[in-house]
Amino acid sequence: MNLHDIQDRILILCPFIKEIVVTIENGHPFAFIYPNFQTLKSEHIINIESEIRWYGVELYNMEVEESQKIRGYFISTHPLEKTASGEFDTTAIKKLLNKTQQSLQISEDEPSDNLYQTIKSYLCTMSDAIILPSSHLELDLRLDSLDYVELFVFIEHSYGVKIDEKVFSNIMTMQELYEYIKEHKEYITPTKIEWENILKEEHDEKLIFSPFIMFTYKTILLPFFKLFFRLEVKGIENIPDTSCIIAPTHQSMLDGFLIEATLPYSILRNTFFLAFKQVFGTTFFNPIAKYGQSILIDANINLKNTMLHASLPLKKKKNLVIFPEGARTRDRKLLEFRPFFAMLSKTHNVPIVPVIIDGSFEALPSGKIFPRPKKIKLTYLKPIYPGNMSYDELTEFVKKTIEDEM
């Protein structure tokens, strides 16, 4: 296995990686990565880890055999260490795995004014990491898209400063965020933010219904899937007559179409699908999304507006299909469930119908264009009502329910 070839290939695949060193850890390739922050800023990317993972590491993994796949990675906020001769210092780089943020940065002088301290105090409610002026809000504090939306709302309500993803992509350290707010603030009134209030805000977008086209999709897809994939469907009776969230596992690009094909038409015509713009906003898929009752989400642009749009079907007592994993599995194992579907469930007090999709991973593995005639099973489980569960409790309960039935 030529580690330099792996490094070169990933650099070609992903313009957001500036430096990469691949080593062998526990018998498998492991990547140490330093992002190209300048390119990320120019493209207004705020979900750096996600971009590097899916459009760098995982794209490479699709191309190679199991033994050559990268099983883990570490993203550094600092350039990777080099020897005096200019070569990467592999020994020093490997030590990054055993260092915590505290050991890397023992202390830093920080502003003592009320503004800095109120920002820091709020971030402490969102992250368990040590917060320093140089802390990167994603890579050090581990904030994600949902955290960003909450942070933007907090900043607007607390300081009268509007921040969007384009602005934020250029101020993603604690120090830069503080300086931006200090320059633009109108007042300092720290305000508690509730997600349910955010998701209930009024929104200008309208739902576009396409009942005839949805019926056409279903009429064409269902018999094809039954013939080609020997499609088996169970538990349709578990879908309630009232508004609900349909939450399937995510194994392949087929999954949304499988849900569309198997839902009874009376339910399908009132159902909307949440999908990533990076995939379904492309030239090929956009017509399908546009007339397929889809709501496209881009984690780097207008995320709050998209979330409000995603909330609209439930406000209107319709249904929403959302994949809790947020991405397709690359090894058939469940990914971490993101809590947005649980937030929507609690905000609108609607049940969640978990769906197990089994076989689509083999039918259309990542990186393949043409499906294989493998058997696919869909099982709609009994609805789960939010009750008094917290977002995290509901998220974990749905995941465990699926795991127990797989």
For residue 236, how far is the Cα from the chain centroid?
28
**What integer pLDDT is reported at residue 16 of this predicted model?**
97
**What integer pLDDT is reported at residue 102 of this predicted model?**
44
Give the Cα separation of 109 and 140 in Å (integer): 17
**What integer pLDDT is reported at residue 221 of this predicted model?**
95
Contact 272, 291 (CB under 8 A): no
Contact 193, 153 (CB under 8 A): yes
**What integer pLDDT is reported at residue 281 of this predicted model?**
64
Question: Is 406's pLDDT higher than 80?
Answer: yes
pLDDT tens digits, one per residue of 240-274: 999 999 999 999 989 999 999 999 999 999 999 99
Query: Over the chain, what is the mean pLDDT?
Result: 92
Q: What DSSP letter does each residue of 180-195 carry, written as one string?
A: HHHHH-S--------H
Bridge partners (DSSP) of residue 279 are none
Weakest mean pLDDT among 26-35, 224-233, 258-267, 283-292? 283-292
Q: What is the mean pLDDT of residues 146-172?
A: 95
Weakest mean pLDDT among 19-33, 68-82, 103-117? 103-117
363 in the Ramachandran plot: left (φ > 0), alpha (ψ -120 to 50) or beta? alpha
**What integer pLDDT is reported at residue 98 of this predicted model?**
76
Q: Which residues contact 210 (CB under 8 A, 6 or more apart)?
A: 291, 292, 293
> Which among 24, 20, 16 has a CA at the least distance from the CA of 8?
20
Question: Is 287's pLDDT higher than 80?
Answer: no
**What integer pLDDT is reported at residue 66 of this predicted model?**
85
**What integer pLDDT is reported at residue 106 of this predicted model?**
58
Question: Is 280's pLDDT higher than 80?
Answer: no
**What integer pLDDT is reported at residue 101 of this predicted model?**
45
pLDDT tens digits, one per residue of 35-53: 999 999 999 999 999 999 9
